[in-house]
Structure 1
Amino acid sequence: MIPLFNYPDLQRRFCEGFTFYPFKALEQYSGFIYKNYTREDHMPNVLDHYSREYEFNDVQAQKLLRKLQQKDIPVTGELLFKLQLSSRQLEERFRSLKRSSAIHRQLLETMDTYHRLLAVYQHNVQERIAVQLSVVPDENEDDPCNIVSVLHIQQVQDVVREFLQSTEVMAIYLKECVAGKRRFAKLILTVEETDNLQELVSLTAQVRSLQDRNFCMLEEWKQQVVLFERRHTMN
């Protein structure tokens, strides 16, 4: 909520840095304090236009936050649960076999490695970004616009890109496993296990698609920040 200032406060804030108040007839509009030189200078319209320059930051933040909360984090959580459950079931059956092949150990190790990677990504990236985006700016801050930097967005994109690469490797591995490719010739799965792995393939594809979309949203946000910075440099 934007505070409403009395007239002495308006003068003090507008004339900050002066030892006296050289400006009079000050007015407040939303979060702006301005000098009104004519009765019909349409300053509110000008200030509304100026405010819209900063709206993209809030719009992009809210879009990404909603997506993380409603789609990314729930789907990632489901994949984490299904990975752990399938891994435990496979491990129990493999232990009951008289002879366990190297492909059994490789499958379990691959699933465990990706599970740990996914858990870290959810906690350190998805959930942390969601918390940062949901923080309400302090209304007393000197700069209420809080424009996100290009560098910050690029850093997040780099993390998303690395995760996408790992997810692509996992997706291919699971697909080949379900399809019974040559390197999985010694892996005999039950119908239930095959169905479970197929579900993991589907969930992995969903996670990958969501992260692809995040990367594109971040790229759009970054380009808007670049444009914003260029305009202000020119001004």
Structure 2
Amino acid sequence: MPSFTDTELQMKFCEGFTFFPFKSLEQHGTLIYKCYVSDGGNLTKMLEWNSQEHSLSHYAIKISKKIKHLDIPAATELLQLLQETADWWETRITSRSRMPLAKKLPEYIDKYRNLIAAYHKEALLPIAAKLADKDASISTKSIEQMENLMQQFMLDTETLHHFLKENINKKRPRTLDDEDREYLSKVAGTIDSFRALQERSIYLLEAWETRQMIHNNRRALN
């Protein structure tokens, strides 16, 4: 017997209702209801809200908009900043050739840039597209996979993030001069902001997955 999600079952029921409607019942999206008042008032708004609540689509809408309008632009901005940082350091490396940081910093920046470019292309863009697809059926497993992609990115960039923060620390005065420290502090701040966005996305996905699991358990109990 094929397994369907609650939303898929509801949609199939609505398909059947279109051909064999029950008297006195009406349909709105994936909801079948009976109206007991002549003037519906805010009924349409209430039905819209309940449609989203029933399918938990409000999570998909919220996360999709966040990634599209915040995360993706932030990733593009960070990629550009890292390229500018690599070019900037190249012009200053001659006078700093004996510094331990001279060779390590370009390698770390290049690695960070590659990780973000891959994350932008292979995680953020596909996730945003999938969540924006109104016809897509998203299971708890799919949500968990999105979480894992984001969490893996955070782990992969943790060492690079720590390296940069450690080397701009004022307690290590011989590592950088004030101008270098000020520039790299700006880079570190942009990276911090981007990481905070990913942490927020992970939180929203975890909340969605939890609600979906509760929803599925209720269905099983019923």
Check whether TM > 0.5: yes
- Partners of 2:31 and 2:138 in 1: CA distance: 25
Query: How far does residue 199 in structure 1 lie from its aligned partner after superposition?
Result: 0.6
1:153 matched residue in structure 2: 143
1:166 matched residue in structure 2: 156
The alignment of Structure 1 onto Structure 2 pairs a total of residues equal to 202
* 8 Å CA contact retained: 1:27, 1:33: no
SS of corresponding position for 1:179:
coil
Taking a change above 3 Å as real, the CA distance of residues 27 and 110 of structure 1, as seen in their structure-2 partners, is: same
Aligned partner of 2:88: which letter? Q
Alignment TM-score, normalising by the size of structure 1: 0.71
Query: How far does residue 61 in structure 1 lie from its aligned partner after superposition?
Result: 0.8
1:18 matched residue in structure 2: none
Taking a change above 3 Å as real, the CA distance of residues 230 and 172 of structure 1, as seen in their structure-2 partners, is: same
- Partners of 1:71 and 1:53 in 2: CA distance: 24
Task: Find out whether 1:225 has 2:212 as its counterpart.
Answer: yes
Alignment TM-score, normalising by the size of structure 2: 0.75
2:19 matched residue in structure 1: 13
Counting only pairs closer than 5 Å after superposition, residues 185-196 of structure 1 correspond to structure 2 as: 185=174, 187-189=175-177, 191=179, 193-196=180-183
Q: What stretches of structure 1 of length at least 5 have no aligned partner? A: 1-8, 15-22, 138-145
CA radius of gyration, larger in: 1
Counting only pairs closer than 5 Å after superposition, residues 1-235 of structure 1 correspond to structure 2 as: 13-14=19-20, 25=23, 28-31=26-29, 51=51, 53-55=53-55, 57-94=56-93, 96-97=94-95, 99-137=97-135, 147-179=137-169, 185=174, 187-189=175-177, 191=179, 193-235=180-222
Query: How far does residue 24 in structure 1 lie from its aligned partner after superposition?
Result: 7.3
Query: How far does residue 180 in structure 1 lie from its aligned partner after superposition?
Result: 5.6
- Partners of 1:89 and 1:189 in 2: CA distance: 14
- Partners of 1:231 and 1:206 in 2: CA distance: 38
SS of corresponding position for 2:138:
coil
Aligned partner of 2:167: which letter? C
Could you say what the CA RMSD is over the residues aligned between the two structures, in angstroms? Answer: 3.5
Query: How far does residue 72 in structure 1 lie from its aligned partner after superposition?
Result: 1.3
Bigger CA drift: 25-34 or 198-207? 25-34
- Partners of 1:175 and 1:101 in 2: CA distance: 17
In the TM superposition, what whole-angstrom CA distance separates every residue of 1:75-126 from its partner, at most 9, and x where no partner exists?
22221111110111112321x3484555311111011001100111111111
